[in-house]
Amino acid sequence: MTVKIGFIGLGTMGKWMALNMLKAGFPMRVYDINPAPVEFLAGQGAEAATSPADAAAQVDWLFLSLPDTELVEKVVFGEKGVVQGARPGLVLVDLSTIGYIPTLEIDRRLKEKGILFADAPVSGMEARAKEGKITVMFGGDEGLFRTVRPALDAIGNQIVYMGGVGSGQLTKLINQLLFNISCAGLAEVLPMAVKLGLDPERVAQVVTTGTGRSFAADFFIPLTLENRFDEGYPVKSAYKDMISAAEISAHKGIPLPVVNATAVTFQMAMAEGFGNLSKGGLIRVFEKMLGAEFRKRGAAA
C-alpha cells in the first residue's frame, strides 16, 4: 500500500522538507496559511488542502512544521483543526520546535482521539533543509519510528531515536540552549575586546581557530564583522527555547544559572528593539552599552 503524506507548515524549513518527501515518491497533500509555498509544491505534484482538517482527512501520515507551541495547538485542536478531519489511526509527527511540557499534553489529548503522535524536531538551517541533510530527533514509540523512517530519511542524514514522546523536544532544547549560551557569550565578550583596544579581525582569527571556537563563533563572527544580522533564526523567535527551559527548571526544580543569564541577554536584546535580528544580533546590546562595535574596517553600517 502506498502511504500518503500530509504536510502542514511550509515556511523556511517546512517547504523544503515537504518537497524532499515528495521527491522521495510519497504522494503529498500540503497546507499553509500562505498560498505561495502551497502553489510552489502543487507545481511539483502535491495536492493543495484547504485547511488542517482537510489535510488530515485524506492522508495516512501527517507532518507539522510550525513556528511555536501556540500555533501547533491551534492547528491540531482549533477550528478546522487536524482532529476534526483525522481518522483514528492517523500518524501525526510534529517536526516543530515547541515546549517539552506542552508536547506531553498534546500526546495525552491525541491518544483520546485515537491518533498516534510523535515529536521529531529538526536541527539545521535552510540550506541543509534544501539538501535533505538536517538532523531529526525522534520522540515516540520505537515501532512508529521504524514505520515512518523512510519519510524521515528523505529530509535528514542524521535520524536519531531518542526515546518516548517528549524526548525529541527535550533533546532539541538541550542542543539549542548550548547554542544560545554560546551566542550570548560572544555577545558579551567580543565588544569588551574592542573596548579595550583589540582589533576585531585579529580577535576573530584567534577565536575561530583557538580554544574559544564554537559553531556560534564560526557562523556569526564573520557576519558580525560585515555588520550582517540577517542570517539565522530571529532572537524573538528563539526566545521560546528560554521559556521552555524556565518551565522545566520551575516544574522539575533544576537550577539553571547560566541558562537564566542567557535568557536575560535575550530579554535585553528584545527590549532594545533587536528582536528581529539573528542571534548574532545579541551583540548589539553590549556594543551599545560599551560604545564599541565588533566590525572590520569599512563594514557597511
Q: Are residues 208 and 221 in contact, defined by beta-carbon separation less than 8 angstroms?
A: yes
C-alpha span between 100 and 171 (Å, rounded): 9
Question: Distance from first CA to last CA of the chain, Å, rounded?
Answer: 58
Cell numbers linked to 1 = 500500500
- Give the helix/strand (H/E) hosting 118: strand 116-119
Phi-psi sector, 6: left (phi>0), alpha (psi -120 to 50), beta? beta
Partnered with residue 278 across adjacent β-strands are 234
Q: Tally DSSP H helices, then E strands, for the chain.
A: 14, 9
Q: Which amino acid is located at 63 in the chain? A: F
Residues shown for the chain: 301
SS3 state at 261 = helix
Q: How many CB atoms within 10 Å of residue 253?
A: 7
Q: Which residues carry out catalysis? A: 172
From the number of C-beta atoms within 10 Å of its C-beta (0-12, 13-18, 19+), residue 127 rates as: exposed
